[in-house]
Structure 1
Amino acid sequence: MPGSGRSGARRRTTLTAVALAALLPLSACGGSGDGGGNASGKVGGSLTFQTWNLRAGYQDYFTALIADFEKRYPGTEVKWVDQPAERYADKISADAAAGTLPDVVNVSPDLAAPLAKAGLALDLDKEPAAAKYAKEYLPGAWAGNRVPGLGGTYAFPWYLNTGPLFYNKALFTKAGLDPEKPPRTYDELFSYARTIAERTRGKVATLANVPTIEDFGRYGARLMNEKGDGFAFNDAKGVELLTQYVKLYRAGALDGQALTATPESSGQKFLTQAVAMNPGSALDLGNFKKSAPTLYRNIGITDQITSTGKANMYVMGLAVNSATRNKATAIAFAHFVTDARNQMSFAKRAAIFPSTQGSLDDPYFTRQDGSDTARVRVASAKSLKTAVNYTPVLFSDQMKTALGNEVARALQGKQSPQQALDAAVKACDQLLRQS
């Protein structure tokens, strides 16, 4: 499902490598292609391709894409299955248990990681037929599907997403701030937030989210140790960021419901003009225009704020089942779907961004036409050239919850920021050892 800022791409899994490792004997019989196996290394035979909640909006695109592949490689047959967003990780786990994992599977990095640990995702770097394509993709996108401690790359980069920071010019003006000068640094963000809270007497908060793992990454905290076997976001930068959020919370600059907020609820807060700033993407502009015309007329758009100079990217990929009966065909198809031509075509339909080298230099991503949508698209494409996926591929849903719980305790004054992050790192490390 094409993502939109945080809300569209922060999809996590409870799938663990321990569970998958136990399934390896069941999966050894190969992929789910229904016959037509090809052990010769030539492209041919049948395979199954699974996407993640894409049929409803893009059926015509994928039908034509598959027809093009089958025409290019006579004798191939691709069966397309699409799974709903809900419980997608559970579906992958069930397929792994039954030995019916599709030959080519749509995954995010956090879904690819447990498959890789269990030996169910093909290491593209060790497979010459796949490794030769690495240079076609943005380095940050190819690296997005690497797994610390294993080495290797376990999915072809597919589409990317990122987005700007939206702000409400009317609320800035109400607080006596220049609506044409949004914050560019974290220091400015924190200062603006305190000013808005003070001058609106606590009626308007600036942010609706507590910091997440990608926020710590953007701020410059070290997320994992060098070996990739432990977390490290309790360093000085991490503590500094959480300390600032504690101050914002106490000053009323952080929405009172932030402790239990979701990306969707935070977006709703911004939509109803209860908060002054929120991350998003070009997809949100249409929603603003339709659902909140007053907000749309006052929308401000600025770049993501980072201390690293690199924006956050969300990555979708296509993993190849390591036990597929049709390895050559599965690799060829995964590359075909993610090559520059097909990614560009999909990007223009789905309002996402291609992960292939040079694609972001296309006029579609570089030329302004005066619209806010183009402005966001051009700015996002520029940032993606150097963007990174800050969320560690090993950061599970349980770890996200552990971090959120400790952050909440710090905001409530029940422990210091250092104590909170020390506890979060300890809990996440324990979960990592269990995986």
Structure 2
Amino acid sequence: MRTSHWMRLAVAAVAAATLAGCGLGDPNGSDGTDTGNAAAGGEVKGTVSLQTWALKPKFTAYMEGVIDAFEKKHPGVEVDWLDQPGDGYSEKVLSQAAGGTLPDVVNLPPDFALPLVERNMLLDVGKADATLDSDYVAGGTAAYRFAGHDGTYGYPWYLNTDVNYWNAELLTRYGLDPKKPPATLDELITAARTVKRKSGGSVYLMSRKPGLMDFANAGVKLMSDDGTRFTFNTPEAAAVLDTYRAAFKEGLLPKDVLTETYAGNTKLFSSGTAAWTTAGGNYITSLATDNPGLAPKVVSSPAIGIPPLYVQGLSVSKNTKNRATALALARWVTNAENQAAFARLTSIFPSTKASASDPFFSKSDGTNAGDAKVTAFSSLAQATMLEPVRANDAIKTVINQQIALALSGQAGSEEALDTAVARADQMLKD
């Protein structure tokens, strides 16, 4: 399916008019050293294009300031900036690549970068920039390394992760200590049983079914080393499903958690129906708008197991005609100073190691929102992408359908996992 989709886009792109490029460029690393020239093996000069994803109009002033500063640092350099709307962005990028109009520097999350890596269209920035691994958090650079392909194909730009959020009022009401919330799946189930018993079933603690991230946290290898097949049909993954099926049968999860009518654990948490949810590090701030009465009652704790990592990055086209400047620009946009300024404007975290000492992220202001932000930020050093980038939405839908069958008892755990792997593997080949 991926190949035919690529070919259709290629034909459309060739027939269409040539698209204008966009740009960024500079060599400054997070430590302020000028590494771009050495990494690229050339002088930072000329014009480069930079493409971002859905940053206009909210962050126009910020991006223009970053670009202006880069051009001032490198007299004579000109950056052409293009921002694409949110909808259809992956298809737009594939169309540009197929038509030979991929910008020099392009904003790509890892799953959008992978199809271009498979077609040898992105530069190995790890090979071009010797300081990449020393300047950025390990999970961020690892997100741009793909099974079956040597190299690193993006600078991590901005990050997020999940933390646990607990309704302290409900925990206290039902005999649990909000200062010592569950830290393992077994503790979570025990606490959920207590909440069910003492609330008479009117409140849930657990309110979501498991997925690939839960398998990964159980030590399950999700894909083969070459990225050609899924491997999560293991006894360890079956044990996870067995545990959740028993919890579901016991009534520790909402009945509709397996159906299309399920509202989602964050909505249930916001409404007071569930006492636990997971969300990004700035969730309490948004909750204060949705439910201002609940927000002050929320406490946070680190994610159970390995924290998940959500990544945006900047990749460099392998066909750029201005390699030194493109690399320099990618470094400039993602350096510690520019990332920190961006993070102060929105609900994201920087990906540079130098940011670890920034008190804005590492020190709480004493509020529960400040505590949650610090919890999330401190988790980034250990966070990793738990779901393989090849597990796209269609594949995850098939996997989740089989998980639902296992939890409802309509299929055994091993049978459901075997079916999920077989169908997901076939989708990789289509």
TM-score range, shorter chain: 0.7 to 0.9
Partner-residue secondary structure (3-state), 1:167? strand
Moved more, 39-48 or 156-165: 39-48
TM-score for the superposition, normalised by structure 1: 0.87
TM-score for the superposition, normalised by structure 2: 0.88
Aligned to 1:315: 311
- Is 1:424–2:420 an aligned residue pair? yes
Aligned to 1:112: 113
Aligned to 1:8: none
Aligned residue type for 2:322:
N
Aligned to 1:351: 347
**Structure 2 counterparts to residues 254-273 of structure 1, below 5 A:** 254-260=253-259, 265-273=264-272
Aligned residue type for 1:392:
P
Residues 17 and 357 (structure 1), Cα distance of their counterparts in 2 relative to 1, 3 Å cut: farther
Aligned residue type for 1:369:
D
Aligned residue type for 1:315:
V
Residues 386 and 179 (structure 1), Cα distance of their counterparts in 2 relative to 1, 3 Å cut: closer
Moved more, 410-419 or 210-219: 210-219
Aligned residue type for 1:368:
S
Contact 1:17/1:117, CA 8 A, preserved across alignment? no
Amino-acid identity (%): 37
**Structure 2 counterparts to residues 8-157 of structure 1, below 5 A:** 16=2, 19-20=5-6, 33=21, 41-126=42-127, 128=128, 130-157=129-156
Separation in 1, partners of 2:51, 2:259: 33
Moved more, 102-111 or 289-298: 289-298
- CA displacement 1:360-409 (0-9 Å, x = unmatched): 22222222221122211222221111221112122212211111111111
Separation in 2, partners of 1:210, 1:169: 23
Aligned residue type for 1:65:
V
Contact 2:22/2:104, CA 8 A, preserved across alignment? no
Contact 1:20/1:115, CA 8 A, preserved across alignment? no
- CA displacement 1:49-88 (0-9 Å, x = unmatched): 1212222321111010010111112222222222232222
Contact 1:32/1:47, CA 8 A, preserved across alignment? no
Aligned to 2:32: none
Separation in 2, partners of 1:354, 1:151: 25
- Runs of 4+ with >6 A deviation: 21-27, 261-264
Aligned residue type for 1:423:
T
Partner-residue secondary structure (3-state), 1:280? strand
Aligned to 1:215: 214
> Over aligned residues, Cα RMSD in angstroms?
2.7
Separation in 1, partners of 2:78, 2:108: 22
Aligned residue type for 1:371:
T
Separation in 1, partners of 2:2, 2:43: 34
Separation in 2, partners of 1:371, 1:405: 40
- CA displacement 1:233-267 (0-9 Å, x = unmatched): 22222111111221222222222332246998432
Separation in 1, partners of 2:400, 2:82: 35
Moved more, 110-119 or 340-349: 340-349
Aligned-pair CA distance for 1:17:
5.7
- CA displacement 1:318-349 (0-9 Å, x = unmatched): 11122222222211111111112211221222
Partner-residue secondary structure (3-state), 2:203? coil
Moved more, 263-272 or 59-68: 263-272
Separation in 1, partners of 2:162, 2:287: 15
Aligned-pair CA distance for 1:24:
7.3
Residues 331 and 264 (structure 1), Cα distance of their counterparts in 2 relative to 1, 3 Å cut: farther
- Gaps of at least 5 residues in structure 2 are 24-39
Contact 1:33/1:46, CA 8 A, preserved across alignment? no
Q: Which residue of 385, 388, 391 maps to 1:395? A: 391
Contact 2:22/2:79, CA 8 A, preserved across alignment? no
**Structure 2 counterparts to residues 270-289 of structure 1, below 5 A:** 270-289=269-288
Residues 222 and 34 (structure 1), Cα distance of their counterparts in 2 relative to 1, 3 Å cut: closer
- CA displacement 1:142-192 (0-9 Å, x = unmatched): 111111011211111111111310011222234332333210111101111
Aligned-pair CA distance for 1:95:
2.2
Give the number of equivalent residue pairs.
411
Partner-residue secondary structure (3-state), 1:358? helix
Aligned residue type for 1:115:
L
- CA displacement 1:1-28 (0-9 Å, x = unmatched): xxxxxxxxxxxxxx9366447867978x
Separation in 2, partners of 1:261, 1:384: 32
Aligned to 1:332: 328
Partner-residue secondary structure (3-state), 1:162? strand
Separation in 2, partners of 1:68, 1:135: 24
Aligned-pair CA distance for 1:31:
9.1
Residues 94 and 82 (structure 1), Cα distance of their counterparts in 2 relative to 1, 3 Å cut: same
Aligned to 1:252: 251
Separation in 1, partners of 2:88, 2:217: 29
